[in-house]
C-alpha cells in the first residue's frame, strides 16, 4: 500500500491533519471510562473532537480516520453503505439513531455483525493493564511502530513523570477486505488499548 505515515508531535500539525494545536500538558481520560460504538450511518465529526485526521481511498473502501482524546473514529464507506466505529469516553453524547451496539471497553471483546448487501464487520479489542516499567518499555517500542502508521499522534506529557499519550492507526486491504488496527496508550493508567476491525464487502 503506497501511503506515507503522518505523525503529529505535541500539536505540530502537517498536511492532511486537522486539529487544535496543543502546547500545554495533556491528560487522557481514565481508561476505565471508555466505550466502543458501531453505527450503521455516518456520524457528524463535530460530535467527536479530533486531534489528527486522514482520508484514504483503499480499493473498494473510502476510509476516514480520526484520533480523539480518548480513542478514535473510523468511518468506512463501501458496498453502498457507511459504517462508523467510535472509541471514546462513555460520557460523550453520541446519537442513538442506527447505533448497532455500545460496549464498555474493559478486558476483551470479539463481535461480528452481518449486514445486508453482503457487508460484514468483525471487531476485537483488548485493554492491557501493565506494570509501570513494562508500560514505559512498550511505549518506546510503540513510538517506533507509529512511524509506519497511516495516522499517528503523540500528545504532550501531562507532567515530567509520565510520557505523553500515543495513538496510531494502520490500515491494509486485500480482495474486498479492509483491516484497521488501532493502538492507544494511557500513561496515567499504565494501560494500552488495542482494537482490530475487519470490514468485508
Instruction: Specify whether the CB–CB gap between 36 and 86 falls below 8 A.
Output: yes
Name the DSSP class of 60.
T
Mean pLDDT (whole number) for 158-185: 95
Cell 502546547, residue located: 23
Q: What is the pLDDT of residue 57?
A: 96
Q: CB-hemisphere CA count at 13 Å for 168?
A: 20
Per-chain mean pLDDT for the chain: 88
What whole-number distance in Å separates Cα of residue 84 and Cα of residue 41? 6
pLDDT tens string 22-57: 445 678 999 999 999 999 999 999 999 999 999 999
Q: What angle do CA 65, 160, 188 make, to 5 degrees?
A: 55
All three cell numbers of 107, joined, read 478486558
Q: What is the pLDDT of residue 27?
A: 83
Q: CB-hemisphere CA count at 13 Å for 195?
A: 26
What whole-number distance in Å separates Cα of residue 167 and Cα of residue 149? 10
Name the DSSP class of 12.
B
What whole-number distance in Å separates Cα of residue 40 and Cα of residue 138? 35
Instruction: Return the percentage of the chain with pLDDT > 90, whole number.
Output: 79
Mean pLDDT (whole number) for 116-143: 95
Q: What is the pLDDT of residue 17?
A: 38
Q: What is the pLDDT of residue 24?
A: 55
Displacement of CA 141 from its chain's centroid (Å):
18
Cell 473510502, residue located: 62
Mean pLDDT (whole number) for 122-129: 98
Write down the pTM of the prediction.
Answer: 0.86
What whole-number distance in Å separates Cα of residue 169 and Cα of residue 76? 14
Higher per-residue pLDDT: 26 or 200:
200
With a cut of 50, say whether residue 91 has pLDDT above it.
yes
pLDDT tens string 62-78: 999 999 999 999 999 99
**Which of the four pLDDT bands, split at 50, 70 and 90, describes residue 80?**
confident
Amino acid at each position: 500500500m503506497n501511503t506515507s505515515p503522518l505523525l503529529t508531535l505535541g500539536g505540530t500539525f502537517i498536511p492532511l491533519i486537522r486539529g487544535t494545536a496543543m502546547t500545554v500538558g495533556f491528560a487522557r481520560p481514565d481508561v476505565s471510562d471508555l466505550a466502543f460504538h458501531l453505527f450503521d450511518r455516518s456520524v457528524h465529526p463535530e460530535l467527536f473532537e479530533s486531534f489528527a485526521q486522514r482520508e484514504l481511498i483503499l480499493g473498494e473502501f473510502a476510509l476516514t480516520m480520526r484520533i480523539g482524546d480518548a480513542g478514535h473514529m473510523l468511518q468506512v464507506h463501501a458496498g453502498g453503505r457507511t459504517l462508523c466505529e467510535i472509541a471514546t469516553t462513555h460520557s460523550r453524547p453520541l446519537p442513538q439513531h442506527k447505533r448497532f451496539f455500545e460496549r464498555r471497553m474493559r478486558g476483551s471483546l470479539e463481535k461480528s455483525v452481518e449486514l445486508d448487501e453482503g457487508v460484514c464487520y468483525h471487531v476485537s479489542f483488548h485493554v492491557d493493564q501493565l506494570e509501570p516499567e513494562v508500560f514505559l518499555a512498550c511505549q518506546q517500542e510503540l513510538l517506533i511502530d507509529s512511524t509506519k502508521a497511516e495516522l499517528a499522534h503523540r500528545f504532550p506529557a501531562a507532567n515530567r513523570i509520565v510520557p505523553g499519550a500515543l495513538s496510531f492507526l494502520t490500515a491494509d486491504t486485500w480482495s474486498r477486505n479492509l483491516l484497521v488496527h488501532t493502538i492507544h496508550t494511557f500513561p496515567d493508567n499504565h494501560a494500552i488499548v488495542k482494537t482490530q476491525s475487519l470490514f468485508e464487502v
